[in-house]
Structure 1
Amino acid sequence: MPRRYQDIYPSLPLLNSDELEHVSAAGLMSLRYFQAAPDRMPENVYTEHHVLLNLQSRPHRVQNTRDGILHDFVFHKNEIVVTPAGMRSGWRWFDKSDVIVVTLDPVKVERFAHTELSMLLDPQQFQDTPLFKDADLCTAGVILRDALENDDITSGVMYEAMSRVLLVKLLQRYGKRRHEAVALSARFTSSHYNRVLRFIRERLDQTIVLDELAREVGMSPSHFSRVFKETVGTTPMQYVLAYRVEQAIKMMDDTERPLGSIALDCGFADQSHFSRSFKQVTGQSPRVYRAARVA
């Protein structure tokens, strides 16, 4: 049975983004900061990705077991270990740890890559990136950690902004892209995806129908629907709806902007249509969601 990383780490985190009032629980990632005496963690399988950023200035010996294979190495400052969701992993460290652990929901990562970076990720995502050195990513992690020390509106805004920066850097440098050569029942490439996404962005405030999306990539509607769902994991129109809601959430950060105006700018017929669709995707009404973010 998969367990949460924080449930089996041998010490409590010094900082935990999930416990802070002004950091959105619906954000892109969770962050925990640990310092722990030499110890070990038993092998476990997790449903989320874990990105471990080493801040310890003194090189120290570490053992990491990954799917039954033991890796015994010296851990240096600014080195990073990524444990993908679904991988059995265990740890032992022989000196005091000083680490940031970033937890990522694979579904949110894939969605962010789709909509923000026009990337189609391989289903394995980070499977081939066990250990690498990246001072830039570690610096972004430290900024995130420091934003948690003061639980206020400003730090919450900083945390959410920097979480996007860290995820963009991680995906652009180490995200495993889907190979164009992978054959589906019919071909749907990154070029097709980018054209669809550009079409949606340019017509966000307008009605978008399946036939228009299919025509944009030169396919029949039935053919397009099939290969889109096989590649992206959702139907084209479900994707359009989720994209409209995502853009609405960004606009809602401007607390002076009326919900009715946001509804029209994101292509909803009226505020009632917006509310129903928003609740369908997020489980909350726009008014409740916005109130929780600014509380």
Structure 2
Amino acid sequence: MAISQSLTTADIGIFRKATGQTRLDQVKTSASDRGFVIGVSLTGGHRRHIFHEHHASSHDFTENAIYIRDLAQAYTADLSNPFDFMLFEISPASLERIANEAELAGVTSLAAETASKDIVLANLARALIPALERPEEASALFVDQMTTAIGAYLVQRYGGRQAQTASRTASLSRAHEELAKSIILENLEGDVSVLDVAQACNLSRGYFIRAFRETTGVTPYQWLLGERIKRARDLLRSSNAPLAEVAIACGFADQSHFTRVFSAIVGATPGAWRRNI
């Protein structure tokens, strides 16, 4: 594999697999109880010849094409041409939990898809590429927030049931807002999951994310980034601490990580911003 990356979350396994080889082998997987695998093609040109019980079918994967496969069914396919896939694996128990949080209790499977295009899912998947490429910088809060969104989208789009209109306004009470913010601030490096914060507020992950965004105007991870940058500005303004120390004090993995995020949000590097003030 030219690329083989992975992240583990509470409910969804995240992988990126890519190869540049033109001639690929046949793949065979036995039936298992692992649940479902969802693939998102990041590039076009890959082709699969899939063998079914009584027939075979050929499929061309364009960019942003997806597949959904039930791992309870044995799978045999001839692969040809290079591929670059984001993959999500969801166990039956995780699918049930995700469906319950999305207010779609009773969804126990996802509809099979092969080489159909899904721009929404592809964009959600691509947002996780930096976390796979630099896992040491990946915030658990961000990854959990993204997988919650992906899980909810999958059960709503492919779970075979019509999503219900939200019956209550998604907003946090003042007490829950203060509690959530205090927990996030205590974990400025981002090593706290949405699940942890939501459970502290006695809310589901999906509802908590919607309520936090409705209440504050931003997602939990966006709020965390804002607080990191706010603390960084205070330290840059009030001290002569080296940038590497400021980075660690503000929850960044290192100075390089700090510089990239600060520059993207503020429009100047930390060093240049400090000199200008």
Task: Tell me the TM-score range normalised by the shorter chain.
Answer: 0.5 to 0.7
Give matches, 1:273-288, under 5 Å.
none
Cα distance in structure 2, aligned partners of 1:101 and 1:263: 27
1:80 aligned residue: 66
2:12 aligned residue: 29
Cα distance in structure 2, aligned partners of 1:52 and 1:44: 18
Question: SS of the residue aligned with 1:176?
Answer: coil
Q: What TM-score do the two structures reach when normalised by structure 2?
A: 0.54
Cα distance in structure 2, aligned partners of 1:155 and 1:119: 28
Cα distance in structure 2, aligned partners of 1:80 and 1:42: 19
1:86: how far off? 0.8
Given that 1:14 and 1:33 are in contact with CA atoms closer than 8 Å, whether structure 2 keeps it comes out as: yes
Cα distance in structure 1, aligned partners of 2:125 and 2:199: 35
Instruction: Choose which of 91, 100, 107 in structure 1 pairs with 2:77.
Output: 91
Cα distance in structure 2, aligned partners of 1:161 and 1:173: 18
1:144 aligned residue: 128
2:156 aligned residue: 172
1:54 aligned residue: 41
1:75: how far off? 1.8
1:44: how far off? 2.0
| CA RMSD between the two structures | 3.9
Q: Deviations over 1:139-179 (max 9, x none)?
A: 2111112222222354433222111121222221111239x
* Structure 1 residues 66 and 161, CA gap change in structure 2 (3 angstroms): farther
Instruction: Choose which of 119, 127, 148 in structure 1 pairs with 2:104.
Output: 119
Aligned partner of 1:120: which letter? A
Cα distance in structure 1, aligned partners of 2:199 and 2:141: 23
Q: How many corresponding residue pairs? A: 185
Given that 2:12 and 2:88 are in contact with CA atoms closer than 8 Å, whether structure 1 keeps it comes out as: yes
1:79: how far off? 0.9
Q: Identity of paired residues, percent?
A: 16
Aligned partner of 2:73: which letter? M
Given that 1:66 and 1:88 are in contact with CA atoms closer than 8 Å, whether structure 2 keeps it comes out as: no
Aligned partner of 1:149: which letter? E
* Structure 1 residues 263 and 165, CA gap change in structure 2 (3 angstroms): closer
1:114: how far off? 0.8
1:17 aligned residue: 7
Q: Deviations over 1:92-122 (max 9, x none)?
A: 221011111111112111112112x110234
Given that 1:144 and 1:159 are in contact with CA atoms closer than 8 Å, whether structure 2 keeps it comes out as: yes
Aligned partner of 1:177: which letter? R
Aligned partner of 1:49: which letter? F
1:39: how far off? 2.4
1:132: how far off? 2.0
Given that 1:43 and 1:91 are in contact with CA atoms closer than 8 Å, whether structure 2 keeps it comes out as: no
Aligned partner of 1:148: which letter? L
Q: Give the gaps of 5 or more residues in structure 2.
A: 173-179, 188-197, 204-250, 252-277
* Structure 1 residues 88 and 266, CA gap change in structure 2 (3 angstroms): same
Cα distance in structure 1, aligned partners of 2:69 and 2:200: 42
1:60: how far off? 3.6
* Structure 1 residues 252 and 104, CA gap change in structure 2 (3 angstroms): farther
1:161 aligned residue: 145
Q: What TM-score do the two structures reach when normalised by structure 1?
A: 0.51
1:41: how far off? 1.0
1:42 aligned residue: 28
